[in-house]
Each structure stands twice: as structure tokens, then as C-alpha cells.
Amino acid sequence: MARLLTALGVLLTLHMASSNKLVCHMTNWAQYRPSVAKFTADNIDPFLCTHVIYALATINSFNQLSPIEWNDEQQYQRLSSLKSVNPVLKTLLSVGGTVNGVSPFIAMVAKPESRAVFIKSAISFLRTHNFDGLNLAWEYPGHNGSPQEDKERFTLLVTELSVAFEEDARENRKTPLLLSANVASFRPTIDRAYEVNKISPYLDFMNVMTYDFHGHWEPATGHNSPLYPSSADSGSHSHHNINSSVSHWLSLGAPAEKLLLGFPTYGRTYHLSSAATGLGAPANGPAEAGPYTRTAGFWAFYEICDFTSSATVEWISEQEVPYATYGSSWVGYDDKRSYSSKVQWMTAHNLGGAHVWTLDMDDFGGSFCSAGPYPLVNHLRMSMGFPPKPTTTPGPTTTRDPMVDFCRGRPDGLYENLADKTTYFQCFQGNTYLHRCQPGLIYWDSCKCCNWP
Ligand SMILES: *[C@@H]1O[C@H](CO)[C@@H](O)[C@H](O)[C@H]1NC(C)=O
């Protein structure tokens, strides 16, 4: 009976967790940023997110899922090793981007045979590299291919992937691979790209890319990711906000619990072309590139922290987001306060959770914003009501804590805690994590698991 109750407890916990996802993207190009901005899978806090999505993989000319960077396979392995620290962490591989300016999905989805090759290669690749799922990042079906056909072919791809994932799970007695997609937030793009009713049942979750609503391609300042319209918006611009975009997804029949709201850890910049500095001020292009992201048009949150120390910061109350301006530079970005507003909106609409673009643009090392590591994502996690992370954070201590020292010099793995058998240590990269077994169970080193005394 007690065993059954424990099993039920596990199921309930899993069920609750599934309605509260915090999905975080990392990018394999962030490793090329200089000095403290260099980011690899080793910079991920294993307890921060429920899912980590590794961006990006591509589709080769034989229609197979394939890596992009020289060290992707090394990084997959580092990412997967985080799961020995946090056994409930899920990892997915994102596939998309462009090859010579064109999405590699367009050719692959065109024929049943090439879809079958892709699907087979994806399952084998994901299993080989210990991923828990696949994230489709086609921006967007119907964009520069053939609109109506690509929309239908995307549906076929999603359906066939889902069926194949089920088959693979049955045949190999494994948990089915997860299937998710990054999806558009502009109403006309949504209408052109997706058969919402047909794809929703087959996707575990959809990452609505609720950012890039405004940017330096426009002649006046506007916010990257506003919650609501501004009274200055006219015409289609009144739909360039989260409320309008996600409402559209819901009205098309997307189940709320499968929609994840996008939280950007970056802001979009403008170069002001007059003395005006407010929302809607004339602009002609982006501000200077950030010293670390080195791409004109956006700044990472850690670059914005440096900027706001001397800039004027304003809150756009209609849109519940901040902007900052100094000299002729203007940036619309997100901070803890706007994240809180968005979490409230997300909760009020019963969405399945949040996704973050990206981990590597938050102040992941804590060296810029004086707010500890991952200030934005940690705030998001807390605002969403996740329990405190089950970690023993190692750090400088004056009186040495024997527990913090436990893993120094030990190989990664699980160890018994002789002082308290209801807990056990997990060593990861020299850091010590203390875990507690479920009530009634104790840790057994023989199975490296919690079991009955
Ligand atoms: C949010 O979206 C809903 C549904 O489209 C709409 O009725 C409501 O007026 C919007 N709220 C704001 C403040 O724009």
C-alpha cells in the first residue's frame, strides 16, 4: 500500500510539474562570446529550469538531423550530465535555422520519403545523445516556401513525428520523446503557418515567440515584448503585443496548457534621430552593438545592466515593460517587474508555463547586475511559484561547512550521507548537492537509489 501511495505521489508530482513548465533555451553560438560572456552547457544551473532546449541543429542534404558546431556532441554530453544532478530535468534538441538563407525544412517536408528519413534519423540521433525530445524551430511554415502546401506539410511532419515517437517508445520500452515547436506570434504569420487544431494534439508544448514585436527596422521606437498595445499603436501595430498574440492562439483553439509564454532575456535597441526619447520617438536604425553580443539591434540583459547604470529608465505603464535611454541610444527590455506582470497574465490565462530565450543572455554568471547568477530566470522561477531549488550552493564560507566540501575531489555520482540515511549526496563538477529521499525511504548505495529500509 505504502509503495502504491509513493507511486501515486510520484505521479501526482509529475502531473503538477507538467502544468508548470519553465523551458529554457541555450544557444551553441554563445560559446564564441568574449570573456565572462562565453556560455556553454557547463554554465547551466541544473535546478533552474524544468526543460533545457539546445539550439541549434540543422537538417543536412540527405534530410537527416545533424549538428552544426564542431563541439556540439561534446556539449550534448555536458548537457545530458546535468540530468545526473537533477534527475527530473528534461533536455530537447532544437532543429531549424536556415541554409543559404532558406529553411532546411522546406525541402525535407515536401515528400513522404524524405520526412520518413528525417524522422528515423531524428529518433536515432536523439536517443544516441540522450535527449528527451525534439523542438521544431521552423520560422515559419509558408514563409518563402509555398504557403498553403507548407502549412499542410508541417501538420504531416508533426503528426508523423508524434506517431513515430510513440512507436519508438513502445518498441524500446522507453518514455516517449517529447515533441515541441517554436511558434510565431504575429497574427498574419500564425494564420499563414499553422493548422492549429490539427497540430496541437500532437505537440507536448508550443513556445510562442512573444518577442521581436518591434525593432530597429521600424522608423520609431517600440518595445520588443510589450504585454499590451500602446495608445500610439495604429493599424496592425495594435496586435504587436503578448495579449493580442496569445489571445489569437487561444481563439484558434490551442489548448492553454500547451502554450508557453516567451520571456526574452534581451532588449531591442534603436538609434534616436531627434531630441525625442519616448516611446514612438523617431529612430533610424539600431544603437551600437553590445560589447559581448556584438550584433547591432539587440543587447543581452547583462549588457543592459551596464547601460542602465548611467541611462534614464522609464516604465511604460500601458504596456507594463521598461525602456532605457542615454544619448542617442534607446532600448526596450524586460526586468524583474515586467516578468512579474507577464507571469500574472500567464497564470490568469492558465497557460502551461514559460519559455526563456535565452539562458546565455541573462546575467548567468552574476558578474554584471549585482543580483546573483541568472537574476531574470531565477525571478521567473520564483514568480511562477516553484519551490526553492534543492541545492546546497557551494560558495565562499568562513567557517567551512563539511557538507559543502563533501564533493571536493570526488568523481561525479551519488554517495551516501552517513550522518542521515534519509538523504544522499550528488557530486557534480566538484559541487555538492544534498537530496532527500521520499518520506519512509532511505538511500541505499547498493542500488544508488532510495528504497525501503
Ligand atoms: C487583451 O486581449 C483581449 C482578447 O483579444 C481583448 O478583449 C482585451 O481588450 C485586450 N486587453 C488590452 C488591454 O488590450
- How many CB atoms within 10 Å of residue 73? 11
User: In order of start, what are the domains of the chain with their CATH numbers?
Assistant: 9-263+334-383 (3.20.20.80), 402-451 (2.170.140.10)
DSSP-assigned states of every residue in 45-67: -TTT-SEEEEEEEEE-TTS-EE-
CA-nearest of 133, 115, 113 to 57 is 133
Distance 210 CA to ligand 1 centre (A): 15
Of all protein residues, the one whose alpha carbon is nearest to atom 10 of ligand 1 is: 243
C-alpha pair distances (Å), 421 with each of 296, 373, 443: 55, 32, 6
Q: What is the mean pLDDT of residues 265-289?
A: 98
Give the C-alpha separation, 349 to 333, whole Å: 23
Residue written as grid cell 524522422: 119
Contact call for residues 265 and 356 (beta carbons, < 8 A): yes
Average pLDDT over residues 360-386: 96
Q: What is the predicted pLDDT for the residue at 388?
A: 81
SS3 assignment, position 392? coil
Q: Give residue 17's pLDDT.
A: 38
Q: Which residue among 227, 237, 244 has the greatest number of ligand 1 atoms within 8 angstroms of its CB, and so is best to mutate? A: 244
pLDDT computed for residue 11 by the predictor: 42
Distance 300 CA to ligand 1 centre (A): 29
Does 8 score more than 80 pLDDT? no
pLDDT given at position 450: 72
Ligand 1 pocket test target in 187, 230, 243 with most atoms within 8 Å of CB: 243
> How far is ligand 1, taken at its centre, from the CA of residue 232, in Å?
16
Burial letters for 191-212: b for 16+ Cβ neighbours within 10 Å, e otherwise? ebbbebebbbebbbbbbbbbbb
pLDDT at 184 over 90: yes
pLDDT band at 402 (very low <50, low <70, confident <90, very high): low
User: In which band, very low, low, confident or very high, does the pLDDT at 73 lie, cut at 50, 70 and 90?
Assistant: very high
87 SS3 class? coil
Segment 11-31 shows an average pLDDT of 73
Q: How far apart are CA 36 and CA 292, in angstroms?
A: 9
The per-residue pLDDT for 411 is 81
- Grid cell at residue 325: 535611454
Residue 67 Cβ < 6 Å to ligand 1: no
pLDDT at residue 398 in the model: 42
- Tell me what pLDDT residue 401 has: 59
Q: Residue 272 carries which DSSP code?
A: B
Contacts of 14 (CB under 8 A, 6+ apart): none
Task: Compute the average pLDDT of residues 303-320.
Answer: 97
Cβ–ligand 1 contact at 247 (below 6 Å):
yes
Using pLDDT thresholds of 50, 70 and 90, give the confidence band for residue 310. very high
Lowest pLDDT segment from 291-305, 338-352, 436-450:
436-450
Closest protein CA for atom 12 of ligand 1? 228
Residue 5 pLDDT: 46
104: Cβ contacts below 8 Å, ≥ 6 apart: 58, 59, 60, 96, 97, 98
Question: How many CB atoms are located within 10 Å of the residue 368 CB?
Answer: 21
> What's the rounded mean pLDDT across residues 408-418?
83
Please enumerate in sequence order all residues whose Cβ is within 8 A of that of 411, keeping only pairs 6 or more positions apart, or say none.
427
Q: Which of 69, 113, 139, 288 is catalytic?
A: 139
> Is the model's pLDDT at 379 over the cut of 90?
yes
**110 grid coordinates:** 515536401
* pLDDT number for residue 390: 66
Find, among 334, 312, 316, 335, the residue nearest to 325 by Cα: 312
286 lines ligand 1 (CB under 6 A): no
Q: Is the pLDDT of residue 31 over 70?
A: yes
Mean per-residue pLDDT over the chain, rounded: 91
pTM of the predicted protein model: 0.85
pLDDT greater than 60 at residue 391:
no
* Pocket mutation for ligand 1, best pick of 185, 240, 247, 349 (most atoms within 8 Å of C-beta): 247
* Residue partners of 82: CB distance under 8 A and separation at least 6: 41, 44, 46, 52, 89, 91, 428
User: How many Å lie between the centroid of ligand 1 and the Cα of residue 215?
Assistant: 23
d(CA 199, CA 380): 28
* Residue 238 Cβ contacting ligand 1 at under 6 Å: no
Please give the pLDDT value at position 19: 44
Taking the C-alpha atoms of residue 171 and residue 179, their distance in angstroms, rounded to an integer, is: 18
Q: Which sign, positive or negative, has the C-alpha torsion 376, 378, 381, 384?
A: negative
Dihedral (CA of 221, 367, 31, 181) sign: negative
Contacts of 235 (CB under 8 A, 6+ apart): none
Mean pLDDT of 1-22: 51
Question: Which residue CA neighbors atom 13 of ligand 1 most closely?
Answer: 228
pLDDT on residue 407: 82
Question: 47 versus 3: which is more confidently predicted?
Answer: 47
- Rounded to 10°, the helix 336-348/375-383 angle is 30
Ligand 1 centre to CA of 349 (Å) is: 12
Kindly give the distance from the C-alpha atom of residue 206 to the centroid of ligand 1, in angstroms, as a whole number.
21
Picking from 182, 178, 130, the residue whose alpha carbon sits closest to that of residue 154 is: 182
Question: What does the DSSP assignment read for 145-176?
Answer: S-HHHHHHHHHHHHHHHHHHHHHHHHHHT-PP
Active site residue 139: yes
pLDDT one-digit tens code per residue, 100-130: 999 999 999 999 999 999 999 999 999 999 9
Q: Look at the block and give the residue holding cell 510565431.
A: 184
What is the reported pLDDT for 446? 81
Distance 368 CA to ligand 1 centre (A): 36
Please report, for residues 15, 68, 330, 445, 448, the alpha-carbon distance to residue 2 in angstroms, rounded to integers and kept in the order given. Answer: 20, 49, 60, 22, 21
pLDDT tens, 325-362? 999 999 999 999 999 999 999 999 999 999 999 999 99
Using a 6 Å cutoff on CB, does residue 243 contact ligand 1?
yes
